[in-house]
Homo-oligomer: A and B are copies of this chain.
Amino acid sequence: MTTTYSIGELAREFDVTTRTIRFYEDQGLLSPRRRGQTRIYSPADRTTLKLILRGKRLGFSLAESRDLIRMYRPASDNRQQLEALLERIADKRAQLERQLADIRVLQTELDDAEARTRQALTTL
Look across to chain B and name the residue whose beta carbon is closest to the beta carbon of A85. Answer: B117
Q: Is A39 an interface residue (CB 8 A)?
A: no
How many interface residues does chain A have, given as a range?
Answer: 35 or more
Q: Are B103 and A99 in contact (CB under 8 A)?
A: yes
Q: Digit string of A66-97 for contact with B (CB within 8 Å is 1, else 0)?
A: 00100110101101001101100100110010
Chain B residues in 8 Å Cβ range of A117: 74, 82, 85-86, 89
In the assembled complex, the Cα of A10 lies from the Cα of B7 at a distance in Å of 47
Q: A99-B57, A109-B72 are in contact. Are A79 and B124 (CB under 8 A)?
A: yes
Residue from A51, A76, A109, A117 having most chain B Cβ neighbours under 10 A: A117
Q: Are A74 and B121 in contact (CB under 8 A)?
A: no
In the assembled complex, the Cα of A23 lies from the Cα of B66 at a distance in Å of 30
Q: Is A58 an interface residue (CB 8 A)?
A: yes
| Chain A positions 55-71 with a Cβ under 8 Å from a chain B Cβ | 55-60, 68, 71
User: Which 10 interchain pairs have the tightest Cβ spacing?
Assistant: A59-B59, A71-B113, A54-B102, A89-B114, A74-B120, A82-B121, A96-B103, A57-B102, A72-B113, A85-B117
